[in-house]
Every structure is written in C-alpha cells, then in structure tokens.
Amino acid sequence: MVASRTASAWGYSDGVDAVAQPLARLRGLSLSPAGIRRLVVGNAVALVLIVATGATVRLTGSGLGCEHWPGCEPHHFEPRSYHSYVEFGNRVVAFLTILTTLATWLLARGHRRLAAVIFAGTLAQAPLGALTVHYHLNPWWVLSHFLLSLVVLTLAVVLVARTRPRGTSTLAPWVPWAGLVVGGAACVLIFSGVLATASGPHPGSTVVRRLWSFEPAVYWHVRATAVFGVSFALVLVYLLRERAPQVRGAFVLLGLLAVQMTIGEVQYRTHLPWWLVLVHVTVAATVWAAVTAFVFSLWRPRRMA
C-alpha cells in the first residue's frame, strides 16, 4: 500500500501495476507436487545451460564483444559482430534463467526460502557480469562469476532433492560423513579445474590475462581427481555391498565421471580445442550437480518408487 501511494505520487503507478499484477497472479497459481518437481528440475537445467553459454563466451574470446551492459552499444541492444552475438546470446539466456528462477520462487510452495536464495544469486549474476565487463575481464571477476554459478546450481539441485518424498536411511553412521569428504574433494576438483581452464592456452586467453600458470593448475587438478576417485570408490563399494538405493545415483555419477575423464584426457592430448574445452566445462557442471544430489541423498534419502 505504501509503495503504491509513493508510486502514484511520483506518477509511476501504471508501471508498478504492470509488473505487480502479473506477479500477483503468478503467486496465486497452485501447482501439484509433480508440477513443482518439473519446475525445479527445469530450474536446475537452466542453471547448467547458463554455465555452458558463459563458458562459450570465455572460450571464444567474446567477453568484450559487448562493451556495454545490458546492451551491446550505448543506445541500442543490437549486436554487430560474431563476438557480440556470442556475448549477447549469453545475456539473453541469463535473462531467461532469471525469469525461470523467479517463477520457481513464486510457485515452489513449501520451498520458497531456498528458491528465493536461488533467485537472488541468479539475479546477482547480472551486476557481477557488468563489473566483469567494466574491468575488462579481470580473471578474478571471471572466476567469481563462474563460481557463483556453481553455488546457485548447488542450491538448485538441493531444491530438486527436497521436493522428492523422503525415505528412511539404513546406512552406517560414517557413510554420510564420508559423502562430505567426497563433496569436499569434488570442490577442490572443480576449483582446480576452473584454474586450469582460466590459465589454459585456448582462444579466450588471447583476450584476457591468464589467471595462473597452466602446468601447475593441471598438476593439482589431476591430483584432486585422484583423491576424489579414491573417496568415492570407498563409498560406492559400501553401497554395493549393502544394496543401498543410493547406488543408482552413484552409478549415474560414475558414468558422468568416466565421460568427463575421457574428455579431459582427449582435450589435453589434442592441445585444448576450444569446443572440446566447452564440452568439458559443461559436463563438469553436470558432474557437480550429480555430486550434490548424491551427497545429499546420503543425508536425506528419498523414498524409492
């Protein structure tokens, strides 16, 4: 009421109503539990997609294809070159992702607090992207941009898991804690992979300053992979012996890891073609989503159909 009076006093009531009324109608909608699950899964998929389009910008050297924000030019939005089309396309996907997270926040009844944090984190990517362009793709801004995407994706996967019926756990008490070790190792694996990508000699490196030396980044990335592999194998062996329902998610994760390791080896031996690095980054985001779902299932198992 106060906001409406203030807007009316300044002559902006029509614009406020144009935004507030559709949002009010959206909040009034009611989705079934199955509809909510479909919505939150689509939300998570959109957040993986934005990682892929952001990586495309980085790897094609298109980060400064649009030197202004939100449009490519000071007085219009139209891109004028290959690089500007790539960068502007990423901004369009980012805008659609923001709308998706907004809809999830308004419609995911019973989970609105977590959905609100996801929406806020996704919305924060817009000014962070503007700062990244303003500072001419400083590698630390690029790194923070990507890592925030992973944080938001993590929360989105947790939201998906929380919308599923909860079951009862028969796991040994040490297994959930071992899952945290798997998740921590995966964090190191992802971060070292980000450093390797940020310092690699792919096309994007001709535009932005490299973050670190490539060989040390790969050194730590490979060793983080080994630690993750050993800890995950220990949990997997236990789940197989106990025939625990979480073994399904473990096998999905194992398959993704096999694909990711193959891509990583091939890209390293073929001197890092940018399109293969893009596939590697996209699969990395998918692997991280699978890790999050797997670790969460050890703490909060869902009821199997």
In order along its 305 residues, the chain shows pLDDT tens digits of 444 443 444 444 454 455 555 655 555 566 788 888 999 999 999 999 999 998 888 788 777 777 766 667 666 556 667 778 888 888 889 899 999 999 999 988 888 899 999 999 999 988 887 787 777 777 777 778 888 989 999 999 999 998 887 766 678 888 999 899 899 888 887 877 777 665 555 544 444 444 445 566 667 777 777 888 888 999 999 999 988 889 999 999 999 989 988 998 898 788 878 888 889 889 989 999 999 999 999 988 655 44
- In terms of domains, do 148 and 197 share one? no
- In terms of domains, do 196 and 273 share one? yes
- In terms of domains, do 265 and 249 share one? yes
d(CA 98, CA 106): 12
Residue 25's pLDDT is what? Answer: 59
- In terms of domains, do 179 and 305 share one? yes
* C-alpha triplet 166, 171, 173: angle, nearest 5°: 110
- Rounded to the nearest angstrom, the gap between the alpha carbon of residue 64 and the centroid of all alpha carbons in its chain is 22
- In terms of domains, do 99 and 127 share one? yes
Residue 15's alpha-carbon distances to 11, 37, 53, 153, 179, in angstroms, are 9, 33, 32, 32, 49
Task: Provide φ and ψ at 302, rounded to 5°.
Answer: -100, 155
Asked whether residue 122 is assigned to any structural domain, the reply reads yes
Residue 148, judged by CB atoms within 10 A of its CB (0-12, 13-18, 19+), counts as middle
Asked whether residue 115 is assigned to any structural domain, the reply reads yes
**Count of the separate structural domains present in the chain:** 2
- In terms of domains, do 201 and 259 share one? yes
- In terms of domains, do 297 and 229 share one? yes
Of 119, 138, 164, which residue sits at a domain end?
164
- In terms of domains, do 103 and 196 share one? no
How much is the pTM? 0.77
- Residue listed under structure tokens 């009421």: 1
- In terms of domains, do 108 and 215 share one? no
| Amino acid letter, 166 | R
Asked whether residue 10 is assigned to any structural domain, the reply reads no
d(CA 180, CA 194): 21
- In terms of domains, do 182 and 234 share one? yes
- In terms of domains, do 82 and 160 share one? yes
- In terms of domains, do 158 and 181 share one? no
Of 121, 137, 164, which residue sits at a domain end?
164
Asked whether residue 45 is assigned to any structural domain, the reply reads yes
Asked whether residue 21 is assigned to any structural domain, the reply reads no
Residue 101's pLDDT is what? Answer: 95
Residue 301's alpha-carbon distances to 73, 74, 219, 247, 293, in angstroms, are 50, 51, 36, 11, 10
Closest C-alpha among 228, 199, 236 to residue 214:
199
- Domain extent for 142: 31-164
Asked whether residue 300 is assigned to any structural domain, the reply reads yes
* C-alpha triplet 236, 178, 113: angle, nearest 5°: 105
Strands (E), the chain: none
Residue 239's pLDDT is what? Answer: 93
Of 148, 164, 180, which residue sits at a domain end?
164
Closest C-alpha among 152, 97, 182, 174 to residue 285:
152
Asked whether residue 291 is assigned to any structural domain, the reply reads yes
Residue 193, judged by CB atoms within 10 A of its CB (0-12, 13-18, 19+), counts as buried
Asked whether residue 1 is assigned to any structural domain, the reply reads no
